[in-house]
Amino acid sequence: MISYNYLAFVYDLALRRFYKKGLTTLMNKVNNSSSKTVLDVGVGTGLNLPLYRTQKVVAIDPSKKMLKKAKRKKTNANIKFINSTLEKCEINNTFETIILASVLSTVKNKRVFLQKIKTLSTYNTDIFVFGHFTPEKGILRYLDLLVQPIGKILGFNSVFKLKDIINEADLTLKSIEPIYLGGYWSVLHLKNF
């Protein structure tokens, strides 16, 4: 797997336009809630940071180079950056909102990762996820299988089913907002119960 340290320099250029609709939808949900504390997991280069209002945000990412770019983004939020994987970070408090934007498919051990998400959230926490999900039927599931070898090199898992997250982590799906390709890319609202 290519580390995100190598992708950092092209990341914004390659994905800014594509992610715009998803990140805007995600951030509208965050900004429309009354939540003041946010955990932004796998913040990457911080493409969504300019969209925050005035929340207190903890932004985590294991890639130093992605974080370096994130720190340069303009934002109204009060952000504390942590250079770590979520699994190894030493945060003990819980958050009102947790954001996972295009992260889940890049995580090595989803089970451990999602268990950590659960310890950092309460019954009231809103967990918002932006990402692609492999459909159970249709041509896109074959596309995901086809892209899998390239995805492995670039650091993401193209075959990625929504039911796996829900079942593995025992989370509740409150809503799905389709972004592209009839919900292949979507924004999810999850709850820790």
Ligand X SMILES: C[S@@+](CC[C@H](N)C(=O)[O-])C[C@H]1O[C@@H](n2cnc3c(N)ncnc32)[C@H](O)[C@@H]1O
Contact between 86 and ligand X per CB under 6 A:
yes
Distance CA 65, CA 4 (A): 8
Contact between 101 and ligand X per CB under 6 A:
yes
The amino acid at residue 71 is K
Q: Which sign, positive or negative, has the C-alpha torsion 93, 33, 80, 116?
A: positive
| Position with the least CB separation from ligand X | 44
∠ CA 14-19-25, rounded to 5°? 170
Q: How far is the CB of 149 from ligand X (least distance, A)?
A: 18
Query: What angle in degrees, to the nearest 10, is found between the helix axes of 110-119 and 162-169?
Result: 60
Q: How far is the CB of 137 from ligand X (least distance, A)?
A: 26
Q: Which of residues 3-22 bind ligand X (CB under 6 A)?
A: 4, 19
Contact between 61 and ligand X per CB under 6 A:
yes
Among residues 61, 70, 67, 65, the alpha carbon closest in space to that of 88 is found at 61
**Lookup: tokens for 188:** 């999810």
Assess contact for 57 and 70: CB atoms under 8 A: no
Contact between 43 and ligand X per CB under 6 A:
yes
Query: What angle in degrees, to the nearest 10, is found between the helix axes of 64-71 and 4-32?
Result: 50
Window of 51-59, 102-110, 141-149, 160-168 that interacts with ligand X by CB under 6 A = 102-110
Candidates 60, 79, 82, 179; binder of ligand X (CB under 6 A) is 60
Contact between 131 and ligand X per CB under 6 A:
no
Residue nearer to ligand X on the CB measure, 34 or 108: 108
Q: How far is the CB of 35 from ligand X (least distance, A)?
A: 18
Interface ranges with ligand X (CB under 6 A):
4, 19, 41-44, 47, 60-63, 66, 85-87, 101-103, 106-107, 113
